[in-house]
Amino acid sequence: MKVVAVALAACALALPASAAAPRVTVYAASSLTDVFPAIDRTQRYSFAGSDQLALQIEQGAPADVFAAASTKQPDQLHREGLVDKPVVFATNRPVLIVPRSNPAHIRSVFDLRRHGIKLVIGQQGVPIGDYTRKVLAKLGLASVLTNVVSEETDVRSVVGKVALGEADAGLVYATDARSAAAKLATIALPARAQPTVRYELAIVRATKRLAAAHAFVARVLGRQGRAKLLEFGFGVP
């Protein structure tokens, strides 16, 4: 019996510390698809548009942590008593993307006014869709919306359409443009049109894994989490 006990103790010591900790389910904006697993690969992730995820949490989905590409959805859930007070953990900026071959010869956002340009954007209510409309309005380019051929439910879908050559251009976050850099070219937007893009993180009050949820949030906000966010092109507050 003593030999068995020693063997079991040795096995336990050999396991990584994270193996014994409960995994949390993190509902996160699709623009966090690459960076969150790099910060903590042990958790369960569900990536989608922030508005879709917020709706699922309102309907009782079993999320432990919510991370959005906007302050709008977490703040609304906080007012409804569904999440703890959100905290800003990252920033981003929209850019214009075109296929690497750029068949439409787009050089700036103002070229989107040309007849026949095929533009893909996020749906209204999706953070990237709302930011896109703010950018175009600030630049006096609201008429460009007549060139929209598709409105997507999340930013990664916009990236995919442009990368596959199904559209001439799209507006996405700078970090998402980096994720498909081999297939895309990035065009900066005028500084005067840049909206404030802040990401918020909050613990879902219905969680049954409160300590593990706090640990995940602390990891994102900590030194290593901030370093990974910077590495993947995000800003940190």
Digit-coded pLDDT (tens) for 116-149: 999 999 999 999 999 999 999 999 999 999 999 9
Q: Find the range with the poorest average confidence among 11-20, 58-67, 86-95, 214-223.
A: 11-20
Digit-coded pLDDT (tens) for 7-62: 433 443 444 444 456 899 999 999 999 999 999 999 999 999 999 999 999 999 99
- Return the structure tokens found at 98: 């075109």
Both 166 and 105 in one domain: the answer is yes
Both 52 and 105 in one domain: the answer is no
Give start and end residues of each alpha helix (H) in the chain. Answer: 2-14, 17-20, 35-39, 50-58, 72-79, 127-138, 155-163, 174-179, 210-221, 223-231
Both 159 and 116 in one domain: the answer is yes
What is the share, in percent, of the chain residues with pLDDT greater than 70?
A: 91
Looking at the predicted structure, is the pLDDT value of residue 92 above 60? yes
Both 102 and 183 in one domain: the answer is yes
Both 107 and 178 in one domain: the answer is yes
pLDDT of residue 20: 56
Number of domains in the chain: 2
Both 167 and 211 in one domain: the answer is no
In this prediction the pTM is 0.87
Residue 121 lies inside a defined structural domain of this protein: yes
- Domain boundaries, position 156: 94-193
CATH number at residue 167: 3.40.190.10
Residue 148 lies inside a defined structural domain of this protein: yes
SS3 content of the chain, % helix, strand, coil (to 5): 45, 25, 35
Q: Tell me the pLDDT of the chain averaged across its residues.
A: 92
Between the alpha carbon of residue 237 and those of residues 65, 67, 92, 199, 234, the distances in Å are 20, 15, 11, 10, 10
What's 15's DSSP letter?
A: S
**Letter string b/e over residues 163-186, b meaning 16 or more CB atoms within 10 A of that residue's CB:** beeebbbbbbbbbbbebbeebbbe
Looking at the predicted structure, is the pLDDT value of residue 219 above 70? yes
- Identity of residue 209: R
Residue 237 lies inside a defined structural domain of this protein: no
Residue 18 lies inside a defined structural domain of this protein: no
Looking at the predicted structure, is the pLDDT value of residue 79 above 50? yes
Q: Are 89 and 221 in contact (CB under 8 A)?
A: yes
Distance (Å, whole) CA 136 – CA 141:
5
